[in-house]
């Protein structure tokens, strides 16, 4: 029987405007131990404000954590 195996412990964190599905920015190369750092209100606010300085801030931001798995 085949199983899905995570190819790497690294995860991608994507910040998306949910109304338009526009990718605002992404943070690559985080591991499962430090992903929790990104979920405080303060840290998300600071990341969004610093990363998309030249655009109007979106009303909503969806944060997705993505891990890739390969069928072995």
pLDDT tens digits, 55-72: 899 999 888 888 888 888
Average pLDDT over residues 47-53: 89
- For residues 34 and 63, which has the higher predicted lDDT (pLDDT)? 63
Q: Which domain holds residue 32?
A: 4-71
**What span, in angstroms and rounded, lies between the C-alpha atoms of 22 and 61?**
10
Contact at 8 Å (CB) between 24 and 63? no
Give backbone dihedrals phi and psi of 6, rounded to 5 degrees, phi first. Answer: -70, 125
**Number of domain units in the chain:** 1
> What confidence category does residue 23 fall into, taking pLDDT thresholds of 50, 70 and 90?
very high
The answer to whether residue 37 scores a pLDDT higher than 80 is no
């Amino acid at each position: 029987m085949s199983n899905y195996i995570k190819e790497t412990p690294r995860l991608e964190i994507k910040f998306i405007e949910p109304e338009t599905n526009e990718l605002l920015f992404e943070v690559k190369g985080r591991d499962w131990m430090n992903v929790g750092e990104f979920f405080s209100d303060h840290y998300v606010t600071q990341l969004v404000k610093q990363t998309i300085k030249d655009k109007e801030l979106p009303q909503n931001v969806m944060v997705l954590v993505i891990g890739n798995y390969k069928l072995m």
